[in-house]
């Protein structure tokens, strides 16, 4: 089955740029969605179709996807961005949804 690999943690100072990666075999050929999950809350979709922002998501959030790596980029990081971030794809070979293992973003 398809596997998505994320780094367990990323740390960044306020105002800097955070990049969270999601690795998968030829992931560039799939649509990647990203979710933010703050402590004790349900996940929120922050990026879909690799780089689109749903309504209400700040422009500081952006995404890219090429080759074997998709990346979520958060510019001008704020304390309120501290959360777990998950990537997700649809594996058409098995009609499955697949999540990455999640990355904890810490704002220093």
Reported for 90-97, long-range contacts at CB under 8 A and 24+ positions apart, including other chains, are 90/30, 90/31, 91/1, 91/2, 91/30, 93/2, 94/1, 94/2, 96/1, 96/2
Q: Tell me how far, at minimum, the Cβ of 37 lies from other proteins, in Å.
A: 8
Binding range to other proteins, per CB under 8 A, among 11-19, 20-28, 42-50, 64-72: 42-50
- Which is nearer to other proteins, 15 or 54 (by Cβ)? 54
Q: Tell me how far, at minimum, the Cβ of 14 lies from other proteins, in Å.
A: 26
Number of residues that bind other proteins (CB under 8 A): 25
> Cα–Cα distance between 87 and 8 in angstroms, integer?
12
Binder of other proteins out of 5, 21, 48, 73 (CB under 8 A): 48
Nearest by Cα to 82 from 6, 11, 15, 32 = 11
Q: Tell me how far, at minimum, the Cβ of 96 lies from other proteins, in Å.
A: 6
């Amino acid at each position: 089955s398809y596997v998505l690999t994320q780094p367990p943690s990323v740390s960044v100072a306020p105002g800097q740029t955070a990049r969270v990666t999601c690795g998968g075999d030829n992931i560039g050929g799939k649509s990647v969605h990203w979710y933010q999950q703050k402590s004790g809350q349900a996940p929120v979709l922050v990026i879909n179709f690799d780089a689109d922002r749903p309504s209400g998501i700040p422009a500081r959030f952006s995404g890219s996807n090429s080759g074997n790596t998709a990346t979520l980029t958060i510019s001008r990081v704020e304390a309120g961005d501290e959360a777990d971030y998950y990537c997700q794809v649809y594996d058409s070979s098995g009609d499955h949804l697949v999540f990455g293992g999640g990355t904890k973003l810490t704002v220093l």
